[in-house]
Every structure is written in C-alpha cells, then in structure tokens.
Chains A and B, each alone.
Chain A
C-alpha cells in the first residue's frame, strides 16, 4: 500500500510558490469589509450570514485553484480530507497551520484549531457586536470548497479568540456526500 503523502510538505511547497500579499493589507481589507457590512445591515446575525455567504462564493472558486496548484491526490476518506484542509489548504491560502482534533467517534465530524488567524490581527470587537462571528467567512470558504468536491458540510465557530477563548476552533460536520449533482452557483 502506498504510504500517505506528506501533507505538511506539500503545504509548505505550494505556499512557497503562490503569489503573496502583504499580511497587514489583507487584514485591513477584511476589516474594512466587515465594518462595511455592519454599517449596511445593522443586524449582527445578518452580517454573520453575509460573511458566510461571501466565503461560500469564494470557496466555490477557490477549490479550483487549490486542486490545480497543490497536486494533492484524491482523499481516501473524510479524515484524509480534514488533514488536507488543515495542512495544505490553510497553509496555501492563509500561510498558517491548523490542527485537526476532536474527532467524534459516532459521526463524521472534526475540529480545526487555529492558533493564529491573520484575519483578526489588531481587531477588537466593540461590545454591542458581541454576537458577531468576525471570521465567519472561513466557515463559508470551507463549505463552498467542499461542496465542489461532492461533500455537503456544516461549518461553524465553536471557540473564538476574539470572544476571549485561547484559540479559535472551527467545527466541520459532514452532512452528506453529494452524487453527480450539477453544482449550484448561488445560494
């Protein structure tokens, strides 16, 4: 049996080859978008939805770039998928590593723990926006990207550094494998 590919190495390699953007500029731009959404919608819950939807639309397109550049082989199971997302996906697009933990023995569900998150550098959330899930765009990206490879997942933040937790944790749950469906373009 072929040994498992070294995802960490693939991640480093592809990160080295992709075009980069100044991290501060990236953080500031994302911040400006979130601020704009808060101004437009007032309702924080709706802002969370919008961020997720933006991420979803990004994910639908991002997966193509991911597959084209990373050259990862087909994932053998959902566990494998989790490894690829954490070691190659996060590295390639955000320059960070995520750790896969908290496998649920009963259902296909895992956590991605982010020790650092470039989206939230210099960010402080004012008190009236306590329910804001600032980095919710990441959940959308994962949902959108996986949908394009026939996995329907649910993704949500269960811990958030901005809310005082020591790390950020995303919970990803596999809901269904999609079969030969024509991908939907919009929500």
Chain B
C-alpha cells in the first residue's frame, strides 16, 4: 500500500472538517454532526470495497466484525482493536485502548476534553457503518470515550 503522511491528513483534515461542518449550522449543529457521520460512511464504504476486493466472501457476521477489528483497523489506524466482546445477539463492543485520533487531544479539563473528543468519534462511527454496509450488514454504530482518554469503545448493533 502506498502511504502518505499522517499530519495533515487524519488529524488536521478531520479537525477542519469538524469545524467547518459544525460552525456552519450553529443553530442546528446536530445536522452538522450527522454530516461527519455521513462522510465517514461514504469513506468506509468505498475503502472496505477496495481492501476486500481480492478476498473470499465472508460467511458470518462475526467474521466481518473480526476483519474490521484486525485488517480494517490496521489499514486505517495502524493498530488492531484491543478487545472485542459480543452478546451473541447482534451486539458487538470494540475497544481501542489507544485510539489514534484522540491520542494528542487535550482541553483545559478532562471533562472538556471528553466533550470535545466525542465529536471525533462521529467520523469513525460512520466509517464502521459504511464498511459493514459494503459487506451487506446493516447496523447502527455508536462511540464512547472512556474515562481514561485516549481509549474509546465502539458499539455495533447489527439490525436483525
């Protein structure tokens, strides 16, 4: 895989996108935030298509989730998901103990950091949702910052 550099791309570019989308609709910033999720979705969808094009078809949803935890996460964030749990009823909980995009984030208090950082999870949530959709899995995805940032948890609920 060809590589370009991290600096402007992931961190600066997403920050700018974040500011641009959230400041545009000040009074309806919810829709500004949902745009980030939508952008993540389209990137995740296309990117998944590209990295799975030479692979055999997945048989079970669990295999797809595992693929996201390992290969997909590695391609996007250069590490694996640290922990995967499931209730075996369609809910999967993915923990990343050192999420790359939160790594260097800090505000004046830990509460403020948490608040600011939550927005940074919208794009990755969309990314996961898009990646799943490309393989035919409809799901809702939510993200949560753990008290000890930069770790965070993504919860995938597969629509049955």
Question: A residues bordering B, Cβ < 8 Å?
Answer: 15, 18-26, 28-33, 35-37, 40, 50, 54, 57-58, 61-62, 65, 92-95, 118, 141
Q: Does B82 contact A (CB under 8 A)?
A: no
Min C-beta distance of A187 to chain B, whole Å? 12
Q: Are A26 and B4 in contact (CB under 8 A)?
A: yes
Give chain A's interface secondary structure class: helix
* CA of A58 to CA of B11, assembled, Å: 10
Number of A-B contacts (CB under 8 A): 102
**Interface on chain B toward A: helix, strand, loop, or mixed SS?**
helix
Query: Could you give, for residues 17-46 of chain B, a 1 whenever the CB lies within 8 Å of some chain A CB and a 0 otherwise?
Result: 101110010000000000100111011001
Bound-state Cα–Cα, A93 to B10, Å: 11
Residue pair B21, A36 in contact (C-beta under 8 Å)? yes
Docked complex: B87-109 residues within 8 A CB-CB of A = none
B13 touches A29 (CB 8 A): yes
Q: How many residues on B have C-beta within 8 angstroms of the other chain's C-beta atoms? A: 31
Task: Flag if A23 contacts B7 (CB, 8 Å).
Answer: no
Are A58 and B35 neighbours in the complex by a CB distance under 8 Å?
no
Question: A21 touching B46 by the CB < 8 A rule?
Answer: no
A28 near B75 with CB under 8 A, answer: no
Is B2 within 8 A of A28, CB to CB? Answer: no
Q: In the complex the two chains form, is A20's CB within 8 Å of B13's CB?
A: no
With the chains together, A50 CA to B17 CA distance in Å?
Answer: 10
Q: Taking the complex as formed, is B111 at the interface, i.e. its CB lies under 8 A from any CB of chain A? A: no
Question: Which of these, A18, A23, A36, A61, contacts B1 with CB under 8 Å?
Answer: A23
The answer to whether B76 touches A18, judged by C-beta atoms less than 8 angstroms apart, is no
Does B12 lie at the interface of the complex (its beta carbon under 8 Å from any beta carbon of A)? yes
From residue A61, how far is it (CB to closest CB) to chain B in Å? 6
Quick check: B5 and A18 within 8 Å, CB to CB? yes
- Complex contact B5–A15 (CB within 8 A): yes
Select one of A19, A35, A40, A54 contacting B7, CB under 8 A: A19
Residues of B within 8 A of A25 (CB): 9, 43, 47, 75-76
Alpha-carbon gap, A118 to B76, bound state (A): 17
- Those 9 A-B pairs whose CB atoms lie nearest each other, nearest first: A19-B6, A20-B3, A32-B39, A54-B16, A95-B4, A26-B9, A23-B2, A58-B12, A28-B43
